[in-house]
Amino acid sequence: MPMSTTYFLALETSCDETAAAVFTEEPRILANVVASQTELHQRFGGVVPEVAARAHLQRLLPVIDQALREAQISLTQIGCLAVHHTPGLVGALLVGVSAAKMLALALEVPLIGVNHVEGHIYACQLAADHPIFPCVGLVVSGGHTTLYECAGPLQFTRLGATLDDAAGEAFDKVASLLGLGFPGGPAVEREASQGNPRAHAFPRSFLHEARLDFSFSGLKTAVLYALAGPNQPRPAPPPPGPQRADLAASFQQAVVDILVAKCRQALQRTGWRRLAVGGGVAANRVLRTALETMAHAEKADLFIPPLHLCTDNAAMAALAVEKWRQQLWAPLDLDAVPTLS
């Protein structure tokens, strides 16, 4: 390793996950630790409230220690602090932002703020062997369903977003209606593999409109009606069998059709020939296959990172490297900004 290597420590506390990563300015990921995916939470014993800022507080330092250990460097070798400072739950974001500011101050190194949703797109760059920009970016997760035009790693323009539920949230809520358990994404996908995706003609909001927004609330309600009719607000989940599988398959197909159609429209509108997809829902195999087919037809390259870079993590804050090259430091009074607007 040359003497001049700069090591980055990145922190993520925007929602449920407490995560830390270490990477170089290339960027090359040396460690990518997510608390819920390690045995860390067992170390505390008992119940740790997953959603509380307090849980982030309890987990953050052990997660940082583990990331440094895995990267085999010491804290004093860190040359830059990166942190997801928007969007998210303000109390949760503040834990990461405060820790990053404190460490940057103590180590006398620059601090860089990264947008968590833009990081999900940048995760595609981490897994790719050639540049993904300029591209159309889709972030599709439990909390977000947003399309971007990404002229470069630091030039994101929002093309559209969900007006109500995120796609991943729709998966979770439909899984709950169908009695399929949590997390809903894999559960619905498993059930759908046994069903007929054309059994129910569920609505596909805005499919034939030029706008690049999404709406999944009506789809969720349509599944509810197909299950029990409109006059039974709390239907019992259906028993295992073809009816349940058909509902899951038809629901999943509607989500996939909408996501693929809006990506195609965005590619056509921007003229870009690259599509980068991040967020937990990108792990869905039916979605991946449909995106591959569409991208092939549009003569576009498709980038989807491996699962551990799709779900929330701190390595995707390696977008900070792009800001570091241009010396776009954040001030030490960097704020947590809860809402994208």
- Which positions lie near another protein, rule CB under 8 A? 15, 49, 51-54, 87-91, 141-143, 161-166, 168-169, 172-173, 176-177, 213, 217, 220-221, 224-225, 230-231, 233-234, 338-341
Rounded CA separation 223/111 (Å): 46
DSSP state of 22: E
Rounded CA separation 332/275 (Å): 35
**What counts of helices (H) and strands (E) characterise the chain?**
11, 10
Least distance in Å: CB of 172 to another protein? 8
Closer to another protein by Cβ: residue 83 or 219:
219
Rounded CA separation 330/202 (Å): 46
Closer to another protein by Cβ: residue 4 or 231:
231
Closer to another protein by Cβ: residue 110 or 185:
185
Least distance in Å: CB of 280 to another protein? 10
Least distance in Å: CB of 191 to another protein? 17
Rounded CA separation 262/138 (Å): 9
What letter represents residue 156's amino acid?
F
Least distance in Å: CB of 179 to another protein? 13
Rounded CA separation 318/133 (Å): 15
Closer to another protein by Cβ: residue 51 or 106:
51
Rounded CA separation 2/11 (Å): 25
Closer to another protein by Cβ: residue 163 or 286:
163
Least distance in Å: CB of 13 to another protein? 13
In this structure, are residues 316 and 122 in contact, taking their beta carbons and an 8 Å threshold? Answer: yes
